[in-house]
């Protein structure tokens, strides 16, 4: 059965990530982090292995760390004889990992780009003024209506991540987000949970960051991907380099349509999705979206071997 790779975004990072997957001395891990560190000008492996967590969790550092961890995992997969997937896609930041694995963008270039992306996001909204929250147990339309109700008093709050049925993330200015959380509870939400981030990713407040990223991407060379790349911006496959560039700009201030993207992959013949990167957030979401899908995560040495066995079966 055809399989695809999915790449996680910001939020899946942790100090010590990859430690259970392979030794730091193993070539795919060592070489990937050495390459990233040479671009960044600091020891990225030391940061993810030793912390401090506060620095790793800063958007400017998180984004290259997650990219490098995902690409190191991919290279480890290849070194163990893992075949290329039929399709790749990523959640938010994970789209940069997907584009690199698809062969459309050089890894070193991507490291520099996501560091710039993180900076632009942090600088787009004054510290402490933005917020995000997860709304659990409501239909998408009800969450959208809760945001509209809260925004009527002024301010910005929008549904930005459609992660799975009954799980939608909202983002915007702090007070409107809090008001939308209350409006969602009145509509019967099981939970409305504030997320520990201050950057309202994928909301219209990221417009200035998207513009800056677009100017930067205009100077970057993209190639035609050799693996089918499916975007979570519009759930469609894209092969034109100009389209890839545009999508990576659009996604910064556009909702992540993860539910529809996973359904699109399944409808296109993908029977197994393998999460390539730290954690298993996407695997858990994928199981809730499509029960017929096999969802695996490459989180440690055992799960890596199990996934290799599954695709070779």
Is 202 one of the catalytic residues? yes
Mean pLDDT by 10 residues, the chain (313 residues): 93 92 94 98 96 91 96 98 97 97 98 96 91 96 97 94 97 96 97 89 97 96 97 97 96 97 96 96 96 94 96 89
pLDDT at 264: 96
Is 238 one of the catalytic residues? no
Q: Which phi and psi (to 5°) does residue 192 adopt?
A: -135, 110
Which of these is catalytic: 202, 231, 238, 295? 202
Which of these is catalytic: 37, 70, 92, 97? 92
Local structure of 1: helix, strand or coil: coil
Alpha helices in 162-270 (DSSP H): 174-186, 207-217, 241-250, 258-267
Closest to 235 in 3D by CA, of 162, 297, 288, 292: 162
Q: Which domains does the chain have, with CATH numbers?
A: 2-124+205-312 (3.40.366.10), 130-198 (3.30.70.250)
CA distance 71 to 194: 30
Exposed, middle or buried: residue 168 (CB in 10 Å: 0-12, 13-18, 19+)?
A: buried
Question: Is-contact 6 94, C-beta < 8 A?
Answer: yes
Closest to 59 in 3D by CA, of 108, 111, 114: 114
């Amino acid at each position: 059965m055809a399989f695809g790779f999915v790449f996680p975004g910001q939020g899946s990072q942790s100090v010590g990530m990859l430690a259970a997957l392979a030794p730091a001395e193993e070539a795919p891990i060592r070489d990937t982090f050495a390459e990233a560190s040479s671009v960044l000008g600091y020891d990225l492996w030391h940061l993810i292995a030793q912390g401090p967590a506060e620095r790793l969790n800063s958007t400017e550092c998180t984004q290259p760390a997650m990219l490098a961890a995902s690409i190191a995992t991919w290279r480890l997969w290849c070194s163990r004889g893992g075949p290329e997937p039929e399709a790749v896609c990523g959640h938010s930041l994970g789209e940069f990992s997907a584009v690199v694995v698809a062969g459309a963008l050089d890894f070193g270039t991507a490291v520099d780009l996501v560091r710039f992306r993180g900076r632009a996001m942090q600088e787009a909204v004054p510290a402490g003024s933005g917020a995000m929250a997860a709304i659990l147990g409501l239909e998408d339309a009800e969450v959208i209506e809760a945001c509209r109700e809260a925004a009527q008093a002024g301010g910005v709050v929008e549904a930005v991540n459609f992660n799975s049925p009954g799980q939608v993330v909202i983002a915007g200015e702090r007070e409107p987000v809090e008001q939308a959380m209350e409006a969602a509870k009145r509509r019967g939400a099981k939970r409305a949970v504030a997320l520990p981030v201050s950057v309202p990713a994928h909301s219209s407040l990221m417009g200035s960051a998207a513009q800056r990223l677009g100017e930067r991407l205009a100077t970057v060379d993209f190639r035609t991907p050799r693996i089918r790349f499916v975007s979570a911006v519009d759930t469609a496959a894209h092969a034109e380099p100009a389209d890839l560039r545009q999508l990576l700009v659009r996604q910064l201030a556009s909702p992540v349509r993860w539910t529809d993207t996973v359904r699109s992959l399944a409808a296109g013949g993908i029977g197994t999705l393998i999460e390539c990167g730290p954690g298993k957030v996407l695997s858990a979401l994928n199981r809730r979206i499509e029960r017929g899908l096999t969802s695996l995560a490459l989180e440690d040495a055992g799960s890596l071997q199990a996934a290799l066995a599954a695709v070779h079966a």
